[in-house]
Amino acid sequence: MIKVTVPATSANVGAGFDSLGLAVSMHNVFTFEESDRIQIASSDGTHIPTGSNNLVFRSARAVYDQLGIPLKGLRITQRNDIPMARGLGSSSACIVAGILGANALLGDKLTSRQMLTLATAIEGHPDNVAPAMLGGFVTSVYDEGQVYSVKKCIDTELAFAAFIPDFRLLTSKARAALPAMVSHKDAVYNLSRAALATAAFCDGDYSLLGVATKDSLHQQYRLPLIEGGYEVFELAQDMGALAVYISGAGPTIMAVIHRDDTEFFDRVAAALPQNEKLRHFTVHRLLADNVGAAVEVQ
């Protein structure tokens, strides 16, 4: 049996639309066994597809197809700690798990680069799948069918506050809210800040993150889809967060804080119930996952 553990991810990190992402300490766990039919089950009661349309199975099948190996079925179990459609990379976790699990069953025939490229082809962009697979803070480019990524381990002095609401926001809806064209000014605004965010993580100058995570390409269009989103930004900033941004397509909003600022969560937990627009949010303290997806043979 193959066991695959995949972390949650927070994509874009503000200005790095479809290119920046980081992994955090929330995980889905999958097991894979060979079978002559499709057997898929959730170990935690989460409703998931149990047929050939299951994303984990479809991703595993892509490995078999790439290698030209017939696939009749697999026995797959999923434990889904990453909430679905919340901007924390639940789909990417399934894609990465399916690819890594199938590759392990077949004797590790694909390289890490090949698996990351396949995952990106399925997902459409690398901002979630790259940190899910590699861990840490990852800058990625998808160019002519190939993925080029650079990983930087995230300093242990940082922690993350994930403000997760009790409603979903489908990525398709969040993308539909974006304009078809952007101005040269907005493009430069984001390009400079995405570069600054990468430099800040690499250099360890986290005082820059408040500026580096500002964005003109997507957050202003997506925030109206997140009830209470503006108020979460304001609350986290008032409580001393280093940076605040929409995680992926949302609706989760992520704040970056100093790890030793334990009072941040006490203050936030006390403030959320006091505002009617914030009562459907819960805040989760997360740390960086610098390991990424892990495969075990059991």
Q: All domains of the chain, ordered by start, with CATH? A: 2-153+289-297 (3.30.230.10), 158-286 (3.30.70.890)
b/e sequence 123-133, b meaning 16+ C-beta within 10 Å = bebbbbbbbbb
pLDDT in tens, 222-242: 999 999 999 999 999 999 999
Q: What percent of the chain has pLDDT over 90?
A: 94
pLDDT of residue 98 exceeding 90, the answer is yes
Q: What is the mean pLDDT of residues 158-175?
A: 94
Residue 254 pLDDT class (50, 70, 90 cuts): very high
Residue 145 pLDDT class (50, 70, 90 cuts): confident
Quote the CA–CA distance of 7 and 217 in Å, as a whole number: 26
Residues 6+ apart with CB under 8 A from 109: 67, 103
Quote the CA–CA distance of 56 and 256 in Å, as a whole number: 30
Mean pLDDT of the chain: 95
pLDDT of residue 18 exceeding 90, the answer is yes
What is the per-residue pLDDT for 89? 97
